[in-house]
Every structure is written in structure tokens, then in C-alpha cells.
Amino acid sequence: MRIALVGSRSFGDVVSVGPEILTRGGFEVRGIAPKERPLDASKMASIVAREGPDVIICGAEPVTANVLRASKRLRMVMKHGVGVDNIDLDAATSLGIPVANAPGTNTAAVADLAVATMLALIRRLCEATHATRTGRWDRFVGHELGEMTVGVVGTGRIGAQVIKRLRGFGPQILAYDVVQDSRLVAEHRVKYVSFERLLRESDIITLHVPLVEQTKKMFGRHEFQQMKKTAYLINAARGGLVDEEALHEYLETHKTAAAALDVFSTEPPRESPLLKLDNVLATPHIAAYTTEAMERMDRMCAETILNTFSGKSPPNILNPSTLPSFRP
């Protein structure tokens, strides 16, 4: 029987459709025990060597070249999610191992959370809730989203959905992306501007770009110096997009600025000084965590695995050059 090793914490946890599909398709689905977490590259390689899987279904844990070589039976890596910055794609390709992700499955969920955290920040909901629970009855003065300028960095699937949700609130929307979407301009009155102008003019900046070499720490001291002293930063993409030390300095200096962070450079961020700031709304990487998104994601992962092992060429294989020589 083929073995699917599940590193992702959420595959099969919220809904059961993914493991059920794989089991019907002849796979034994094996999870990783909580006592073995957190998973660094060394521990992950050890587990893969021990379990000998045919497929790894991974979350955010590192899938390095050593991990890929640890099982002689390994034929595929399936990302339970979209971003694959934790997977050595070059190594997988050189080893003839297809890598796939689940694009579009969590788009709505992440877009919803981005807009929700914008509203939470500008209406000071966390402060108001805490004050009320402690017996205070303070009047917290916030802002109206429709009177603000929102800068959207990255207008791919998720960024575009954020823009569509924002239109009903009526803010001015600025956008920055290396590839511009003319439909967003025509249908949603989006204005593409330079990165520098977006930093200067936005009241809220929301990040929706992948973590690649060009985007690592794209928000550092220089960028924060250009932003308004009252700006709000939303990051539900990848923690590595932001220089967290520079963000801490910015938020500590400008008390009326704030950030909503669903992702961190190290997760869980137990030692992060950002967690000690009152103007940080921190959540535990839950942007994709809706029942609906998990059902779509689990199903796509399971079906992609079965289709690949049956000799098909799913469109979400990220290194399709490995498929002609794929041996189930």
C-alpha cells in the first residue's frame, strides 16, 4: 500500500474528505504525532526516513533536499496550501519529484480575514472589547473605511478578491504589482501606482504577494520611513515579507499606527517583541482556516495526488518537467 505522510496540521483535521479520498484510492494516510512537533528540517528528514512515504502532504514545515532524499519511495510532494517557499523546488525537480499546490482554494477565506482585520483595527475593536470586559465603558473613536485610502500590494487571486470586497465600503484603492490587471482598473476603479507612492499615500496597506527572493523583507526601515505615521499594515501573506525589527521600531515610535499580523517570520512567534505591543493585532496563521476553504483544499490535494499517480498531468503541478519520467 502506498503511504501518504501528512505534515500539515490541518489536512484531515477540519474536514475528512481528503483522507477519505486517499484511502479509497489505495493510500495509507499517516499523520505526525504532536509530540514530534515543531518540525525543523532535521526532524522532518528523520520522520520521512522512518515512515518511507510515497507522498508528503506538507504544511509550513521545511521540505529540503535532505528531506526529499530521505525516502527512496518518495514520488511526490503536495502542498496543503498555496505558497511553496518552504519546499526546495529546484531539488525536487532535479530528483524527478513532482510538487503541487492548491491554488484558489483559500482565496476567499484569506481575503475575508484581510478585510476583517482592517475593520478591527480602524474601529479599535480589540481595545474596546478588552475595556468592556474589564468593566470600563470608554468611547473608542475610530475611522470609516470609505474615507480612507487602501494600498493593495499584489493583485493576484487574493489581492483581487480583497479589492472586490473593499469596493462596497468605498475607499480609494491604490495598487502595486509587477503585472497590472486591467479588469480591476475598469471594474473596481483601482489605480496602479509606484511602490513609493503607495507607501506615502495609503492609510492602510495590505500585503498579498508570494515570498520569493525579490520580496523578502520588502517592508523594512526605508519603507516604514516613507509611510504615514498613522498607517495600518495588514499581513496575511508571509511573515518574511516584513522586517519585524523595523516594524517593531515603527509601531513603538508611532503609537497611532497599527498592524494586523496573521503570519510571522518564525511560527509560533513566542519570543516576538511584536506581541507585547498594544497596537498589534496578532492571530495564529488562520487566514485560510474556514470549513469551506479546508474542504476545497483537502479535496484538491487528494485528487491531485490520485490523478498524478494514475498518469494524468494536473494543471497545479509546479514542475511539470518531472511528469514524463514520473514512476508511481
Query: Which is the catalytic residue, given 144, 187, 196, 267?
Result: 267
Catalytic residue among 223, 285, 296, 303: 285
Q: How many CB atoms lie within 10 A of CB 273?
A: 14
Q: Which of 238, 244, 296, 303 is catalytic?
A: 238
Measure the CA–CA gap between 207 and 188, rounded to whole angstroms. Answer: 18
Q: How far apart are the first and last CA of the chain?
A: 12
- Its sign, for the CA torsion 246, 247, 253, 254, is positive
Rounded (to 5) percent helix, strand, coil in the chain: 40, 15, 40
Verify cis geometry, omega within 30 degrees of 0, for the bond prior to 268: yes
Q: Is 238 annotated as catalytic? A: yes
> Catalytic residue at 143?
no
Q: Are the beta carbons of 12 and 37 closer than 8 angstroms?
A: no
Residue 104, burial from CB neighbour count under 10 angstroms (0-12, 13-18, 19+): middle
Other residues' Cβ atoms within 10 Å of the Cβ of residue 123: 16
Residue 47 vs residues 11, 34, 36, 58, 77: alpha-carbon distances, Å: 18, 13, 9, 13, 15
Smallest CA-to-CA distance from 99 within 113, 85, 116 is with 85
Based on the residue annotation, tell me whether 248 is a catalytic residue of this protein: no
Report which DSSP code applies to 269.
Answer: -
Locate cell 527572493: which residue? 213
Q: CB of 5 within 8 A of CB of 48?
A: yes
Any bridge partners for residue 242, and if so which?
219
Encode 210-224: b = buried (16+ Cβ within 10 Å), e = exposed: ebeeebebbbbeebb
The residues annotated with a catalytic role in the active site are: 238, 267, 285
